[in-house]
Chain A
Amino acid sequence: MKFREFIVREAIVPKLVARDRDGVLGELVGALVTAGAVPRSASEELLAALIKREKNGSTGFGRGVAVPHVKHAKVRKMVGTIGRSEEGIDFAALDHQPVYSVVLLLSPENQPQQHLQAMNIVFTNLQDDTFRRFLRQSTTREAILDLLDEADQAR
């Protein structure tokens, strides 16, 4: 599994406008809708599912990153996107620190193995100090894409 197999390039948001968790989730779902990766008719439901998931347990796993994700019947094909916040977002993270990089993943309900493989590549890279630092410093979509391509090529 590689980033390019599920990260929707046009949906990457290098400078998030939203300042709170739910706003960021909405902005990223909106970017996926605009990019044509998610039907607009499903966006409200997906956003509600993402917020519910966060309330059940934050996906802010520490070190300034969060990986909000849901499996949902309205998702036909696994898609993801990345958002960057300059100011930092309160995601109720496990280490109580603000989140600067958000990787959002939407998966179909019936493909748990594919979902686990995507989580594997996301977390393998997010655990890497260099990757995390570069992601936080990438202020343009192109820079983020270069970083993802490098990570893909390294595997």
Chain B
Amino acid sequence: MATASRDTVVRNRLGLHARPAMQFVDLATRFRSNIRVVSGGQRPGEADGKSVMQMIVLAAVEGTPLTIRAEGEDADRAVQELAELVESGFGED
């Protein structure tokens, strides 16, 4: 099974609040791969990238390092597109 991993950082000022978490999950669920998100920083956590609730629980503030891991046939594309979404700041400032 193909696996892929990408490191990124939360860029938007408001952090990974509900709307960005839902955007992330919307994109993640388009891939067949299993997706895990590991957050670093002061309060590390791990979430299923396809669960809105788990993603919100990460409470990842601006500047939090995230590692996005995928396992499945489209793992490479999944981590690339998801990391790009995070780096875009979810369309926020």
Q: Tell me which of B14, B16, B18, B57 contacts A59 (CB under 8 A).
A: B18
Which residues in B have their C-beta under 8 angstroms from that of A62? 52-53
| Segment among A32-40, A111-119, A133-141 that sits at the interface with chain B | A111-119
A-B contact count (CB 8 A): 49
CB of A116 within 8 A of CB of B59, answer: yes
Q: Tell me which of A56, A94, A112, A123 contacts B56 (CB under 8 A).
A: A123
Complex Cα spacing A117 to B14, Å = 12
Chain B, range 6-61, C-beta contacts under 8 Å to A: 13-19, 22, 52-54, 56-61
Complex Cα spacing A137 to B52, Å = 24
Complex Cα spacing A67 to B56, Å = 11
CB of B14 within 8 A of CB of A61, answer: no
CB of A116 within 8 A of CB of B53, answer: no
Nearest-CB residue, chain B, relative to A107: B17
Interface residue SS majority, chain B: loop
Complex Cα spacing A116 to B19, Å = 12
B62 within 8 A of A: yes
CB of B56 within 8 A of CB of A119, answer: yes
Hey, what's the 0/1 contact readout for A102-132 against B, CB within 8 Å counting as 1?
0000000000110111011001101100000
CB of A57 within 8 A of CB of B22, answer: yes
Nearest-CB residue, chain A, relative to B51: A127
Nearest-CB residue, chain B, relative to A65: B53
Chain B, range 62-83, C-beta contacts under 8 Å to A: 62
Which residues in A have their C-beta under 8 angstroms from that of B54? 123, 127
Q: Which 9 A-B pairs have the closest CB atoms?
A: A120-B59, A116-B59, A112-B14, A123-B56, A123-B57, A123-B53, A61-B52, A113-B61, A127-B53
Interface residues of B (CB under 8 A from A): 13-19, 22, 52-54, 56-62
Interface residues of A (CB under 8 A from B): 56-57, 59, 61-62, 67, 69, 71, 94, 112-113, 115-117, 119-120, 123-124, 126-127
